[in-house]
Structure 1
Amino acid sequence: MPDQLWVRTHGEVKIPKRQAAATPQLLRRVNAQAVLAAIRGTEVATGTELMAATGLTRASVIAVCEDLIRRGWIRELDAPRRDAADAGGQAAGSPQKGRPARRFELRARAGVVLGIDIGAATTTAAVADLRGTVLGRASGHFRAADIPAGERIGVVDRACRDALAAAGEAPGNVLAVSAGIAAPVDRDGKVLAAQHFWSLFDVGLRSALQDLHGWPVLLENDANLAALGERWRGSGAGVDDLVVLLAGERLGAGVLESGRLLHGRGGGAGEMGFLDMVEGVGSSDGIASLARQWQAASGGPASGGEASALRVFEEAAAGEPAALAILDRLAERMARVIAAIASLLNPEQVVIGGAVADSAGALLPGIAAALPRFTATPPRVTVSPLGDGIVTVGAIRHALDFVEANALELELPR
């Protein structure tokens, strides 16, 4: 499946360019995607429920379901028995009026997907079934940020194989892989290597994993995947105009506008370098980095030891004055960052995510109080409940979108 054959149509979903016209084949693909998405969202679905969820006619729903059954994606359940009470008082043994509703369910273990989070120091791979339930997870560590491409690919591949082993799944059962990296990625999955740090992630991962295992591999910016994950299973569930800020060491944003990811010409939408020019901000340093820097500058933790973001939040919770002052500074700085985003994009909600999310809730009152000073359109601000798994959650969602969009072309493992 060469990458150049695919074009975006609905945010993350892709269809082949050769089918871009409204052909019967394309309509079959779109209908199959809609039905699969509806069935994935419920344990068991009747034809009537699928009609309501997809807007398709009964004949179309049944035709799609029968096609998906033949291909192994779903199964039809036996009609439930009805006793007299179920039949509205009808006597047992008397003829049943009407046919029982046909019921369908997803074969959730018909295949699996891989979601990968690739950072500068570590990588984490998660295996999920077709409902998005995580079955296994594994991590690997890079000995340095600038290791050779082959070594970086090897660490990622081992994490994937370890996660599959933990899930009890073979590599041949993987239907799609989505990998998030800490660099801009354009709509065609190409890394924008305009900065040295970004170039460290341009290692040919897609072609390498395809050559090793035959997997279809999607590459995406980590903050963009975080936005997909947050909208799917986080505090931004169902929000169409959403910004997710990965706010650990460096700030990066994933932006959804009307439910679609924004990439920009080269994938640079959501990069936060402009903060260098924002008054009262001055850099794209994240919450963890700033807390550590400011605690060190103030003489270190009150109880001694090395400065760290965790120590700042712990001491602030205990009422330590210097730590409380750092939280006040962090809240105002994040309010300025969020106000700049609000002025540019006017999102409904901004979510603070990543490894600092568990602690960042302490900043929310200060951010909410300061926002009206900096913007006339303050968004709702929350912290993500997904913790440091936010990127892998989004990567799983991204891979499942691909699988559902291409179900009629993908061959399920035996």
Structure 2
Amino acid sequence: MAGLLGGDPSLLRRINSAVVLRALRDAEPSCSLTDLARVTGLSRPTVEGVLDGLARAGLVAETDAAEPGGARRLGRPARRFRFRGESGVVLGVEVGPRRLSAVLADLTGRRLGSLAREVSVRATAEERLAGALEVAGGLLREHAVEPGMLRAVGVGSPGIVGAEGTVRLCTALPGWTGLRLGELLRAEFGCQVLVENDANAAVLAERWSGAAVGADDVVMVLAGLSPGAGSLIGGRLHRGHGGAAGEIGALHLLGRQVEPERLLSTSGEPLDPLDEQAVAAVFARAAEGDAGATRAVERFVERLVHDVTALVLALDPELVVIGGWAAGLDGVVEPLRRELARYCLRTPRVVASALGGAAVATGALRLALDRVEEELFAVEEVSSR
């Protein structure tokens, strides 16, 4: 910015375009020319000129002159405009141990559809990646997304993810460590691809449209047998220096070396198969009073308390959201809330995820939408659109 002069006409045009476009996006479904001038503080002729340029770029359209509610004024009708959310789409993708899913939205964030399929925990990296592309491609075809309309893709994946989209470490998915996931998917989709840890994506989703709306300091726990957590501090995602913040699944090594397969075992033998159905069955038996199942659930809650307490003591969040497959199982949230009160200096609110299994893909969608909005409303980018 040091090289730009205050009177540079191109800079002023870019600033004005960004201001008008953001105001129009926030004023859905439409806004009059007069109101746009008032909201932006720009003159009416300036706003008209900006709108003409945005219309040529395909981002703005003039609408019917009817007033909100269907009324019409006598005399010359007011010109009204709307942001063309349909001018592009964004995609959110979850690549999980047992689930591949995708959700599609326009540039306003309005959901257009979703698609999901199961995948084997033993699937190779190639099989899992091909399955994710199949799900995403099927969703794009279902909604007739034309080439060039896909503006950005967000991806939620287990593991420690580098800024460039490479999975630095992942123990949950075979062959996933070292995978250049961002690079591979950019080549397939032909647009920007942002890869994020699944728990980080989930906490963004809950703040956007889930249980954490309006909260700035949030811990989101994907509560499985090896849990992970995403954290917002002051409304901003905390990834840590190397992207490893929230990897609380490793805390069991600190004196609690119970293997995940044995944690919810009711027989002393490893839980096999180790899947959601088997775990749900243990919780159901505990609810019916089965002594062995009750002890297994107590061990699970004890582990969860141990893991979550470490984050709560370190971060002092306003809210803890419990998601993952455990969110829908009876007996998790309330015992966790009760136990945290015993160990924490200040007990946060503890709630179940409002998005359930859709949290990771929804957060990935939010990542993609954030990137597009940065470009649409950034002064440096508007002049080229």
- TM-score, length-scaled by structure 1: 0.74
| Farther off after superposition, 318-327 or 263-272 | 318-327
The percent identity for this pair of structures is: 32
What are the Cα deviations for residues 327-358 of structure 1, in whole angstroms up to 9, with x where unaligned? 44444443332221111111111111122212
Shift in Å at residue 242 of structure 1? 0.8
Residue of structure 1 equivalent to 2:372: 403
Shift in Å at residue 120 of structure 1? 3.1
- Give me the whole-angstrom Cα distance separating, in 2, the residues matched to 1:217 and 1:30: 29
Report if aligned partners of 1:331, 1:364 keep a CA contact under 8 Å in 2.
no
Residue of structure 2 equivalent to 1:230: 206
Shift in Å at residue 30 of structure 1? 10
Residue of structure 2 equivalent to 1:182: 158
1:334 aligns with 2:318: no
Report if aligned partners of 1:135, 1:166 keep a CA contact under 8 Å in 2.
no
1:57 aligns with 2:41: yes
- Give me the whole-angstrom Cα distance separating, in 2, the residues matched to 1:159 and 1:20: 46
2:105 corresponds, among 112, 118, 128, to 128
Report if aligned partners of 2:91, 2:104 keep a CA contact under 8 Å in 1.
yes
Residue of structure 2 equivalent to 1:43: 29
User: Aligned AA for 1:222?
Assistant: D
Residue of structure 2 equivalent to 1:294: 265
> Could you say what secondary structure the match of 2:362 adopts?
helix
What are the Cα deviations for residues 241-261 of structure 1, in whole angstroms up to 9, with x where unaligned? 111111123211111111111
Report if aligned partners of 2:170, 2:177 keep a CA contact under 8 Å in 1.
no
1:68 corresponds, among 35, 54, 63, to 54
Residue of structure 2 equivalent to 1:114: 91
What are the Cα deviations for residues 96-149 of structure 1, in whole angstroms up to 9, with x where unaligned? 8xx84x544332322111111112344222222223333233335556646254
Report if aligned partners of 2:216, 2:232 keep a CA contact under 8 Å in 1.
yes
Shift in Å at residue 310 of structure 1? 1.1
Residue of structure 2 equivalent to 1:382: 351
User: Aligned AA for 2:342?
Assistant: R
Report if aligned partners of 1:186, 1:265 keep a CA contact under 8 Å in 2.
no
- TM-score, length-scaled by structure 2: 0.79
User: Aligned AA for 1:357?
Assistant: A
Residue pairs, 1:362-373, within 5 angstroms: 362-373=331-342
Aligned pair count? 370
1:269 corresponds, among 238, 245, 261, to 245
User: Aligned AA for 2:321?
Assistant: V
> Could you say what secondary structure the match of 2:103 adopts?
strand
Report if aligned partners of 1:136, 1:164 keep a CA contact under 8 Å in 2.
no
- Give me the whole-angstrom Cα distance separating, in 2, the residues matched to 1:227 and 1:204: 24
Report if aligned partners of 2:168, 2:177 keep a CA contact under 8 Å in 1.
no
2:319 corresponds, among 335, 349, 354, to 349
Report if aligned partners of 1:294, 1:326 keep a CA contact under 8 Å in 2.
yes
Shift in Å at residue 21 of structure 1? 8.3
Shift in Å at residue 370 of structure 1? 1.8
| Farther off after superposition, 117-126 or 319-328 | 319-328
- Give me the whole-angstrom Cα distance separating, in 1, the residues matched to 2:182 and 2:26: 27
1:239 aligns with 2:215: yes
